[in-house]
A and B are shown apart, each in its own frame.
Chain A
Amino acid sequence: MMIPPGRYPVPERGLDFDLPDGLAVSRDPVCYLVSGDNGFGKTTFLEKVVIAALQKEGLPFLYLGQDIRTQLYTLRALLSVRGAAVSGVDDERLVEMWIARSGPAADVFLLDEYDKYLPDFGTLFRRCDAFIRTYFIVSHLDPAHIRPDPERFRHRRLHFELAGRDGAVKHIRIRQEEPWPR
Chain B
Amino acid sequence: MAVSDIKTLLNAYDGQYLILDYNHLFVSGSLREEVWLLRRADEPALVSEILEAARTFGIQEASAEKGFDTYSGGQQAILGCLLVMALIRAGGVRGIKLLLSNVMDSISGENRRRLRVLFTEMAASHGLRFFTPREGGLRELELP
Contact = CB atoms under 8 A, between A and B. Distances in A.
Chain A bound to chain B: yes
Interface of A: 13-14, 36-44, 66-70, 72, 90-92, 112-113, 115-119, 140-141, 162, 165, 168
A17 to B, nearest CB: 14
Contact of B75 (A38, A68, A72, A91): A38
Contacts of A140: 74, 105-109, 112
Contact of A117 (B60, B74, B75, B102): B102
26 contacts: A36-B108, A37-B110, A38-B58, A38-B73, A38-B78, A39-B61, A39-B72, A39-B75, A41-B72, A43-B72, A68-B3, A68-B23, A90-B2, A91-B3, A113-B73, A113-B106, A115-B105, A116-B22, A116-B106, A117-B102, A118-B2, A118-B3, A140-B107, A140-B109, A141-B105, A162-B58
Contacts of B5: 69, 91
Interface of B: 1-6, 22-24, 57-61, 70-75, 77-78, 102, 105-112
Central interface residue in A113, A116, A119, by most chain B CB within 10 Å? A116
B23 A91 contact: no
A105 B2 CA distance: 26
A39 B24 CA distance: 19
Contacts of A162: 58
A2 B58 CA distance: 32
Contacts of B107: 38, 140
Given A37-B58, A117-B102, A43 B73 contact: yes
B74 A38 contact: yes
B3 A72 contact: yes
A165 B6 CA distance: 38
A66 B106 contact: yes
A69 B57 contact: no
Contact of A91 (B2, B70, B111): B2
Contact of B111 (A38, A66, A116): A38
A86 to B, nearest CB: 15
B85 to A, nearest CB: 17
Nearest to A117: B3
Contacts of A90: 2
A92 B135 CA distance: 14
A66 B108 CA distance: 14
B30 to A, nearest CB: 17
Nearest to A68: B3
A27 B110 CA distance: 34
